[in-house]
Amino acid sequence: MGRVLERFAGRVALVTGAGHGIGAATARRLHAEGAAVVLADVDLAAAEAVAAGLDEGREDEREDSRATAVACDITDPTSVDAAVADAVRRHGRLDALVNVAGGARPHPGVVDGMTDDDWAGTVDLNLAGPMRVVRAAAPHLSRRGGAIVLVGSVNGLQAFGDEAYSAAKAGLSSLAQNLAVRLGPDRVRINVVAPGTVRTRVWDGQGGADVMAPLYPLGRVGEPEDIAAAVAFLASDDGAWVTGVTLPVDGGVLAGPSAALGRLGR
């Protein structure tokens, strides 16, 4: 990560999906830059393990922990409300919200093989779920001004298949634009990071993420830390005049097919 910044010293961040992958990397990045981080995940044991690893770096064991874990299922409004309330109760404030939780759900085929339940479940997880988290957190963020970052996907910006997932991720961009206007007077910013292929557990059993590397002009897939760095920028004061945008962090895959096809020798 290079020189350690302290852009989040004295601030509190809630990160959903923090037990694995991009969420865990984001929690580590914000914590390294001084934030007290509440790691929320439906997999509480995984979030607790990440939080424990962050606490190992404390120089003085008498210091209060700056990393704690809480159970959170973003498809359950009660669970979301409880997780946000827990974060505020622990720290007395909330300055940043990062929603990483989401993901593609298996279904039997493309549009003609997808049931209403398949569609609704995917959209609920990837669009309604993030909105639940924003709805619960926004009143606390608006007390001092704050930042919200939603993790979307390049699938929401260009056709890569998986229609329900892609449509939900596209919806995050519209959501961010509308909420940027609504929340701006309260000094709350909201933005979306749209990753390309990232080396996470999603690719386990699929040959690994590196099978996608030839499609990327930069010649590699992303690492969770690549996305965490972009999230940290948007959540920090360095992004103080940025709101309502979707930032691709994609190794150039959206730049156009010519560069990608060139790497494939076509």
Each of the 266 residues of the chain gets a pLDDT tens digit; together they read: 455 679 999 999 999 999 999 999 999 999 999 999 999 999 999 999 999 999 876 655 545 689 999 999 999 999 999 999 999 999 999 999 999 999 987 666 666 778 899 999 999 999 999 999 999 999 999 888 999 999 999 999 999 888 999 999 999 999 999 999 999 999 999 999 999 999 988 878 777 788 889 999 999 999 999 999 999 999 999 999 999 999 999 999 999 654 445 444 44
Please indicate, yes or no, if residue 201 is contained in any of the structural domains.
no
Please indicate, yes or no, if residue 216 is contained in any of the structural domains.
no
Please indicate, yes or no, if residue 205 is contained in any of the structural domains.
no
Please indicate, yes or no, if residue 90 is contained in any of the structural domains.
yes
Residue 13 has what pLDDT?
98
Residue 136 has what pLDDT?
98
Q: 23, 25, 97, 165: which is the annotated catalytic residue?
A: 165
Q: Domain of 183: which CATH number?
A: 3.40.50.720
Whole-angstrom distance, CA of residue 228 vs CA of residue 91: 23
Whole-angstrom distance, CA of residue 8 vs CA of residue 149: 15
Residue 144 has what pLDDT?
85
Please indicate, yes or no, if residue 141 is contained in any of the structural domains.
yes
Distances (CA, A) of 22 to 31, 68, 161, 193, 223: 14, 17, 22, 11, 8
Residue 64 has what pLDDT?
66
Q: Is 168 left (phi over 0), alpha (psi -120 to 50) or beta?
A: alpha
| 93: containing domain | 12-195+223-251
Please indicate, yes or no, if residue 209 is contained in any of the structural domains.
no
Residue 57 has what pLDDT?
60
Please indicate, yes or no, if residue 264 is contained in any of the structural domains.
no
165 is catalytic: yes
Domain count, the chain: 1
Please indicate, yes or no, if residue 153 is contained in any of the structural domains.
yes
Q: Are the C-beta atoms of residues 230 and 193 closer than 8 Å to each other? A: yes
